Amino acid sequence: MLKNTRNILTLTTPEGISFSFPLAGPVIRMFAWLIDIIVIVGILSIIGTVLSLAGFLGSDFLNAIFLIVFFAISFGYGMVFEWFMRGQTIGKRVMRIRVMDEQGLKLKFSQVAIRNLLRLVDIMPGLYLVGGVTSLVNSNSQRLGDIAASTVVIRYYRVSEPDFDQIVGGKFNSLREYPHLAARLRQKVSPREAGIALSSLMRRDSLEPDERVNLFGEIAQHFKTKVDFPQEAIDGISDEQYIRNVVDVLFRTRVGSVA
């Protein structure tokens, strides 16, 4: 079963498990396409240079070879890369997007071939107008080639494991001095709120200093309304340290139970 909600494609397995993929919009796809164009031009330039060195073969033969190579690369680039790189071209890899079957099944060669062959119609009358407009109005952001091939283009992210030790490990946590309040905090905080706290710590190094102070100030303010810890537990610690302590309490129920 598939469902689309605001550029998110959600698939539900017969076991009742749902997983979702953010769909790639026309702009991000256009950037990927521009990168691919640069790569194609680069490949053709290299081939052109190599062929020009083989002048002894005669201009007629070399022109014929170049025409065929030009045609083959223009059409075959997308097919070959998407097939061998599991739905990605170089441009798509750079932009972190991928072609996949719209039902979550394995991508087949026929699907890759059809979506690339129908590019001819999608680029009409120029600058991907047909494909761009179609993907804007289509609920799955599909161009005509994607509709015919039953494929979608999704965004994906680099998946890294959260490093808890780096965030919370081995440091004194003043909130743990009050186990009954820590237990109440765990009870009152929803998984979504806990996730926001964790994400903010995971991404703290990517924030500008001012933004970082403001963000942790806002999040700390929110969590302070959940449970009222005594003043001595929170005195002298920064908002960021407070959130660090909150995450430690929420995600590590028994200190030392796992090393």
Partner 1 sequence: MIIDLKKFMKEEKPRWAELEKLLDRMESNPDDKLDLATVQRFYYLYQRASSDLAKLSTFSFDRETKRHLESLVARSFGEIHETREKAHRLSPINWFFVTLPQTFRRQIKAFWVSLLITCLGVGLGTIAIIVDYDSKSVIMPFSHLQGAPSERVAKEETSVPDDKMPGGMATFSSYLMTHNIKVSIYTMALGMTYGIGTILMLFYNGIILGAVGADYILDGQAVFLFGWLLPHGSVEIPSILLAGQAGFMLAGALIGWKNKALTVRGRLREISSDLVTIVIGLAIFLVWAGIIESFFSQFHAPVLPYSLKIALGSIQLLLLILFLTFSGREKKTKEA
Binding stretches for partner 1 (CB under 8 A): 11, 13-21, 59-61, 63-65, 67-68, 70-71, 75, 86, 101-102, 104-106, 108-111, 113-114, 117-118, 120-121, 144, 147-150, 156-157, 159-162, 164, 186, 189, 191-196, 198-199, 202, 250-254, 257-258
Integer angstrom CA distances of residue 112 from 2, 84, 164? 21, 10, 41
End-to-end CA distance of the chain: give it in Å, rounded: 41
Which residue reads 């992210």 in tokens? 157
The amino acid at residue 151 is: T
Q: How far is the CB of 236 from partner 1 (least distance, A)?
A: 27
Q: Is the CB of 32 or the CB of 247 nearer to partner 1?
A: 247
Q: How far is the CB of 169 from partner 1 (least distance, A)?
A: 9
Q: Is the CB of 26 or the CB of 145 nearer to partner 1?
A: 145
CB 99 within 8 A of CB 33: no
Q: Is the CB of 231 or the CB of 257 nearer to partner 1?
A: 257
Q: How far is the CB of 61 from partner 1 (least distance, A)?
A: 5
Q: How far is the CB of 84 from partner 1 (least distance, A)?
A: 11
Q: Is the CB of 68 or the CB of 238 nearer to partner 1?
A: 68
Instruction: Give the C-alpha separation, 75 to 249, whole Å.
Output: 56
Q: Is the CB of 127 or the CB of 232 nearer to partner 1?
A: 127
Q: Is the CB of 95 or the CB of 154 nearer to partner 1?
A: 154
Q: How far is the CB of 215 from partner 1 (least distance, A)?
A: 17
Q: What is the DSSP letter of 5?
A: E
Q: How far is the CB of 254 from partner 1 (least distance, A)?
A: 7
In the three-class reduction of DSSP (H, G, I as helix; E, B as strand; rest coil), residue 15 is classed as coil
Residues linked to residue 62 through DSSP beta bridges, in sequence order: none
The amino acid at residue 31 is: F
Instruction: Give the C-alpha separation, 17 to 19, whole Å.
Output: 7
The beta-carbon contacts of 164-168 under 8 Å, at least 24 apart in sequence, are 164/251, 164/252, 167/198, 167/201, 167/202, 167/244, 167/247, 168/201, 168/244, 168/245, 168/247, 168/248, 168/251, 168/252
Measured in degrees and rounded to the nearest 5, phi and psi for residue 101 equal -65, 140
Q: How far is the CB of 53 from partner 1 (least distance, A)?
A: 19
CB 9 within 8 A of CB 138: no
Q: Is the CB of 61 or the CB of 232 nearer to partner 1?
A: 61
